[in-house]
A = this chain, B = another copy of it.
Amino acid sequence: MTMHRHFETELEELNRQLLWMGGLVERSLQNAIQALVGPDRKLAREVIEEEDAINALQVEIDNRALRLLALQQPMATDLRLITAAMKINSDLERIGDQSVNIAQGIDYILDYPQVKPYADIPRMGAIAQEMVHAALDSFVQRNVEQARAVLLRDDEVDTLRDQIYRQMLTHMAQHSKIIIPAFQLTLVARNLERVADHATNIAEDVIYMVVGRDVRHHALDRR
């Protein structure tokens, strides 16, 4: 009985920590985009500095999940929650990595002739942020419909990425002076695409966790 109580408390703590992690990562993404669009180099440095805290929390969450798996034989639903938490944790950390990548590249954009208004990048950034937020919210609410809606936005993101690539390649062909910042902006588009991919992974994990069925590589195959 005490064992069981202990398990429940630990499970709640896992849940709580994962949401805290989600909050940190959402802020880091928002700050990275704001640092670029602002522009705001100080904010970019903050994103880079906060990476350590996110990494430390990832390791802590992973260890807690492993302890829970070892603690007792979890029931099927708890098992799905714990393994989903481990996967979501890993996707969140990688979203944090992408924010850091964006922040680290900002000097290569701001130190060169202006490519502003950055074509469709702010729009792509807003969509990526919405997807991450909705994916996390679908986890909190155990809301499969909301998770499915996240999956449907992935094509939108890929279309925007291709559009940004075309816009930047056209800029490069016309003005060889902006080749470096325009190229850097294609990397930002790529980072945002990966953020959307991770949001999609999280949504898939939520669906699996709730309905116990794997939705990867199926009808909605987007990988």
Q: Give A contacts to B, CB under 8 Å.
A: 52, 55-56, 58-59, 62-63, 66, 69-70, 72-74, 76, 79-80, 83, 86-87, 90, 97, 165, 169, 172-173, 176, 179-180, 183, 186-187, 190, 214, 216-217, 221, 223
Q: DSSP majority for the A interface?
A: helix
Whether B172 contacts A176 by the Cβ 8 Å rule is: yes
Pick from B70, B190, B216: contact of A59, CB below 8 A: B216
In the bound complex, what is the Cα–Cα distance between A69 and B69 (angstroms)? 8
Q: How far is the CB of A168 from chain B (nearest CB, A)?
A: 8
Q: Are A217 and B79 neighbours in the complex by a CB distance under 8 Å?
A: no
**Chain B positions within 8 Å of A52 at CB level:** 217
Residue of B nearest to A165 (CB): B183
**Distance to closest chain B CB from A92 (angstroms):** 13
Report whether A58 and B97 are in contact in the complex, using a CB–CB cutoff of 8 Å.
Answer: no
Q: List residues of chain B with CB within 8 A of the CB of A216.
A: 55, 58-59
A28 CB, min distance to chain B CBs, angstroms: 14
The answer to whether B62 and A214 touch across the interface, beta carbons within 8 angstroms, is yes
What is the CB-to-nearest-CB distance from A25 to chain B, in angstroms, rounded to a whole number? 14
* A76–B83 CA distance with the chains assembled, in angstroms: 16
Q: Which residue of B lies closest to A60 (CB)?
A: B214
Give the chain B neighbours of A223 by CB distance below 8 A.
Answer: 55, 97
Tell me whether A73 and B72 are in contact in the complex, defined as CB-CB below 8 angstroms, given that A66-B83, A173-B179 are known contacts: yes
A183 x B180 contact (CB < 8 A): no
Residue of B whose beta carbon sits closest to that of A86: B83
A221 to B48, alpha carbons, bound, how many Å? 14
- In the complex, what distance in Å separates the CA atom of A169 from the CA atom of B172? 10
Which residues of B sit under 8 angstroms from A97, Cβ to Cβ?
Answer: 223
- Cβ-defined contact, A59 with B176, below 8 A: no
A214 to B64, CA, bound (A): 13
**Docked pose: A166 CA to B73 CA in angstroms:** 53
Closest 8 CB pairs of A and B: A55-B217, A73-B73, A173-B176, A173-B179, A172-B179, A59-B214, A169-B179, A70-B79
Residues on B with C-beta less than 8 A from A56 are: 217
